[in-house]
Structure 1
Amino acid sequence: MEGCRGLCLVLLPIALAILGPIMLVTSYTIAVLHGDVAKLFPYISDTGGDAPESCIFGQFLNMISLIMFVGVMLRYKQVDSMVITLGLHRLNGLTLFLGCLCALGGSLVANFQDTHVMVVHYLGALLLFGFGIVYCFAHTYISYKINRLHLNERWACHLRLALTTLAAFSFVSCLVGSHFAEAGWNKHHVHKSYYYWGPEDGGYTAHLVSTFSEWVMSVALMGFFVTYIPDFLHIDLVLELRFFQRV
């Protein structure tokens, strides 16, 4: 019977904390140097819309999505072993479903660029951010319930609530800003593509609100999964392999 102790499992959220910023900074830097996007707060997806930055963006986001999926599964099993007396089995099962959709959304965003397959890309973004935020709210509630039994850290509950609230407000401001930015762009724009949205184009301020909100939302969601570090320190993952011979 092989096992992976807590110190090994915390490498998952730690890896997420490392890969996330590397992905954001690298794809943004290459996109700006290649002249593919505006310098001031482009949409994250726009920094991964064209090669070569799209290759780096896609590879990193695929790895991050896989880490999120494994983290969702581990957190589900961890909570499932705690909630015998708290009546949270259904909610915990729902978070497993939401978390898997969130990870799937990240993979869709990584593999279907908005420059080529916009519908699938936006569907992935909805799964990643929309369902991801609902997942975070649900697990924040679960964290507070579990804290009554002193099974997790109180500060982690507060931090998760703060990150989830920040992500939710950013999600709303991103959508609202995008709506007004598009309306302003349609009325007047100098540049041919919104990838180079500038102050001389209509709806520029709303555009910056939307793009900045997306960056904040992304960092907040990744930060939420990083808060699993103290929880994963207290669990072991055991893999049991059994050999049988067909008769």
Structure 2
Amino acid sequence: MSWFKQGLCFLPVFLVIWSSSTFIVTYIIALFRHDVDIIFPYISDTGANPPESCIFGLMTFISACAGTATIYARYKYVEKLSADTKVVNPYLNKTAFLFGMVSCLGMCIVATFQETAVTVVHDIGALLFFVPGILYIILQSVISHRAYPFGSSMGVCRVRSGVAFLAFLAFFPTVICAFFVTQTTLHRDTGDKDYPYHLASAVCEWIVAFSFICFFLTYIDDFKLFTLQVRTQYKE
């Protein structure tokens, strides 16, 4: 486990493990309590009713904080890399950082406003999470390719591009099919006319969510290479 202590790799490791646990734990609890169906509910459905809603809110907020720290660390790493090698445009790095921060804000909104309590605000938070989040991983894929051979290997760059492309493709059926879902109940009947749209939207939502997790998983090797330091200075 000595690799875990190298650089800041504990940040993406914690983010990946915690975020995965957030989705899986709340799904299992909701399933055990018969609050959702076993076949692909929406992620937010698994955190709609207490007590899983409380767990979902807390764990998602912690994921947002871990995501913020990881995105900031990545931003500072690319900033230093760009200053030394001039391979990445600073504005591209800042734009990616901004999208990442907005995505984390969306996670906080999703965590705070449950789907069944304040639906409109919850949906706005979900869009703020998914849209800037996808743009973030796309820009980070571009940054990785431009920074090569500094930083990540070409294999990792290609994996990031593939994951970003998958998330981009899955996002559209998630949103489009959701418009054709007329029922908002947590339990669905396979005979419902809008059930195929619900199933397609929910499956693609899970794909997008775990694409984010897989993308941050590729940060682990990069984060072994650097550390961040806080400097304290008194003003006279």
Letter in 1 for 2:107: G
Distance 2:88 2:165 in 1: 25
Unaligned residue ranges in structure 1 (runs of 5+)? 186-192
Bigger radius of gyration: 1
Indicate the larger mover: 124-133 or 232-241.
Answer: 232-241
Letter in 2 for 1:15: F
> When the two structures are aligned, how many residues end up with a matched partner?
231
Letter in 1 for 2:213: M
Shift of 1:200: 2.0
Unaligned residue ranges in structure 2 (runs of 5+)? none
Any residues of structure 2 matched to 1:19-98 within 5 Å, and which?
19-84=18-83, 85-86=86-87, 88-98=89-99
Shift of 1:180: 2.9
Q: TM-score under structure 1 normalisation?
A: 0.88
Aligned with 1:181: secondary structure? coil
Letter in 2 for 1:172: F
- What are the Cα deviations for residues 171-211 of structure 1, in whole angstroms up to 9, with x where unaligned? 111112222333xx5xxxxxxx5211121212111211110
Is 1:162 aligned with 2:162? yes
CA contact (8 A) 1:38 1:198 kept: no
Distance 1:91 1:18 in 2: 28
Distance 1:23 1:112 in 2: 16
Shift of 1:21: 2.0
Which of 200, 215, 219 is the matching residue for 2:206?
215
Indicate the larger mover: 98-107 or 151-160.
Answer: 151-160
CA contact (8 A) 2:61 2:107 kept: yes
- Structure 1 47/14 Cα, relative in aligned 2: closer, same or farther at 3 Å? same
CA contact (8 A) 1:137 1:164 kept: yes
Shift of 1:241: 2.2
Partner of 1:242: 233
Report the identity percentage. Answer: 32
Give me the CA root mean square deviation.
1.7
* Runs of 4+ residues deviating >4 angstroms: none
Partner of 1:126: 127
Shift of 1:35: 2.1
Distance 1:158 1:87 in 2: 17
Is 1:115 aligned with 2:116? yes
Distance 1:207 1:117 in 2: 20
